[in-house]
């Protein structure tokens, strides 16, 4: 099996795109495209055509799309370019200080559109023809993003919603039940009601009360006047469902969205609002109908339930067996063999973390954190029964096995790739080396 490796080389130094063949053995790396002034930030394989859609970040900060064919031998055939504009892909001003813009995620939907998670430009859609290419004169369009669900709400209310899940919470409070109730701004119900005394005490300290309708309310008009401002959208990832629907994460507005195919476009089907300040980023759907989303701010994994066109938060579980370190950020997520485990690349401390999936797909259990050579792993994919990890600062792609417990193994093999950030499966019809 072949995979594509994208490298964020600058100024034309080195190779921007390489192909790795036979990664389950010794493997062979073949340089495909040299670096240039633009920096390669995204590699999107077409699901049925021998095509790659490359996303380049230009010197002005904008994004440039390039389609290349992969059926004509080792070097892809250029098939067209499309600029998304200087604003697309830039991180909003509210992004975490010191955080770089990182890889750009995208996919080609069953409806025949290229979708790019383009930061504060939103979810960008480019219609494609039957050959997998866009037509001359086509324009990229951003999907309409609903307003910030927390905008205008009192700061004391937002504080409670965030800190009810903090490490200083009362030990008997079930964080998953409370996060589900508070984060989605629903009436307190079920398990959360049963812990009313503990919850009420914590909310009292935050200056927040539970109203007669079960909703949270700021205790004083003064506190309520300190409203949360409208935050910038920051679309971080996008994932396709087997029936053609699409999911996206908005890190800036703590929201996961479900998009329904309508004609050659998409309409908003549902939203799941996560707890305030969660910063949802990487997303992976599970065959059971559950959806796993990284809550970046706390290194937790949100488990969502998708039933019909309803999307709701089920639980928040720790992502790291040994706890998060200062500066940790989950940069990529992938299912393991047989969808029996889920794995996360953790930039900062440099770990490959694993959770076993049990029951109906809703039960996740951390089973191991494997230290990797680099401190900044950014790309992760499943290749057969092994995980391939791209670590930019270490300049390598490494292969890792997955044990019966679901835990990733230590490094099995490695290939030198300077500034490696992306690793994705090759599209159908790719001609091997």
Provide mean pLDDT across the span 411-418: 93
Extract long-range pairs of 390-396: CB within 8 Å, 24+ residues apart.
390/5, 390/6, 390/417, 390/420, 390/421, 390/422, 390/423, 391/350, 391/420, 392/8, 392/419, 392/420, 392/421, 395/419, 395/420, 396/420
Provide mean pLDDT across the span 319-331: 82
At residue 60, the pLDDT reads 82
Extract long-range pairs of 210-215: CB within 8 Å, 24+ residues apart.
213/187, 214/187, 214/188, 214/189, 215/185, 215/187
pLDDT 10s digits, 262-308: 877 889 999 998 888 889 999 999 999 999 999 988 788 999 999 99
At residue 367, the pLDDT reads 94
Q: What percent of the chain is modeled with pLDDT above 90? A: 42
- For 233, the token pair is 């959208």
Which residue's entry shows tokens 């500034």?
A: 419
Domain boundaries, the chain: 2-149+229-425, 155-225
Q: How confident is the model at residue 233 (pLDDT cuts 50, 70, 90)?
A: very high
- More confident: 84 or 68: 68
Cβ count near 291 (within 10 Å): 25
Provide mean pLDDT across the span 122-134: 90
Positive/negative CA dihedral, 180, 185, 186, 187: positive
- More confident: 65 or 73: 65
Dist CA 85 CA 107 (whole Å): 19
Q: What are phi and psi of 35, to 5 degrees?
A: -70, 165
At residue 184, the pLDDT reads 37
Supply the DSSP symbol for 215: -
At residue 237, the pLDDT reads 96
Helix (H) or strand (E) holding 41: strand 39-45
At residue 144, the pLDDT reads 82
pLDDT 10s digits, 138-176: 888 888 878 898 887 655 555 555 544 443 333 344 444
Q: Which of 181-190, 205-214, 245-254, 386-395 has the lowest mean pLDDT?
A: 181-190
Mean pLDDT estimate for the chain: 80
Q: Tell me which fold the domain 2-149+229-425 belongs to.
A: Methylamine Dehydrogenase; Chain H (2.130.10)
The helix-helix angle for 155-163 and 175-183 (nearest 10°) equals 150
Total-model pTM: 0.83
């Amino acid at each position: 099996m072949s995979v594509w490796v994208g490298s964020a080389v600058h100024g034309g130094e080195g190779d921007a795109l390489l192909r790795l063949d036979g990664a389950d053995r010794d493997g062979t790396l073949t340089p495909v495209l040299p670096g240039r002034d633009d920096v390669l930030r995204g590699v999107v394989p077409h699901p049925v055509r021998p095509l790659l859609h490359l996303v380049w970040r230009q010197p002005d900060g904008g994004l440039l799309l390039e389609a290349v064919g992969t059926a004509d031998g080792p070097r892809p055939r250029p098939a067209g370019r499309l600029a998304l504009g200087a604003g697309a892909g830039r991180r909003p001003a509210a992004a975490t200080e010191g955080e770089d813009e990182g890889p750009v995620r995208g996919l080609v939907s069953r409806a025949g559109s290229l979708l790019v998670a383009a930061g504060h430009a939103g979810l960008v859609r480019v219609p494609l023809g039957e050959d997998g290419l866009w037509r001359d004169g086509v324009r990229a369009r951003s999907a309409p993003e609903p307003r910030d669900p927390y905008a205008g709400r009192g700061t004391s209310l937002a504080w409670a919603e965030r800190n009810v899940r903090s490490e200083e919470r009362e030990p008997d409070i079930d964080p998953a039940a409370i996060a589900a109730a508070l984060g989605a701004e629903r009436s307190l119900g079920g398990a959360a009601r049963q812990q009313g005394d503990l919850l009420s005490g914590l909310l009292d300290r935050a200056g927040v009360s539970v109203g007669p309708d079960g909703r949270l309310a700021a205790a004083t008009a003064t506190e309520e006047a300190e409203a949360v401002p409208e935050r910038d959208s920051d679309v971080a990832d996008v994932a396709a469902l087997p029936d053609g629907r699409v999911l996206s994460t908005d890190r800036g507005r703590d929201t996961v969205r479900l998009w329904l195919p309508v004609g050659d476009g998409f309409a908003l089907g549902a939203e799941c609002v996560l707890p305030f300040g969660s910063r949802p980023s990487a997303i992976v759907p599970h065959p059971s109908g559950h959806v796993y989303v990284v809550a970046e701010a706390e290194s937790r994994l949100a488990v969502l339930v998708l039933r019909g066109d309803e999307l709701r938060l089920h639980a928040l579980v720790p992502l790291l067996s040994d706890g998060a370190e200062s500066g940790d950020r989950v940069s990529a997520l992938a299912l393991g063999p047989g969808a029996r485990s889920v794995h996360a690349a953790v930039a900062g401390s440099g770990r490959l973390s694993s959770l076993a999936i049990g029951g109906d797909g809703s039960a996740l259990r951390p089973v191991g954190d494997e230290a990797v050579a680099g401190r900044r792993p950014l790309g992760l994919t499943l290749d057969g029964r092994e995980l391939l990890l791209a670590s930019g600062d270490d300049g390598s792609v490494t292969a890792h096995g997955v044990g019966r417990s679901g835990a990733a193994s230590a490094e099995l093999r490695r290939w030198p790739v300077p500034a490696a950030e992306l690793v994705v499966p090759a599209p159908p019809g790719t001609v091997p080396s």
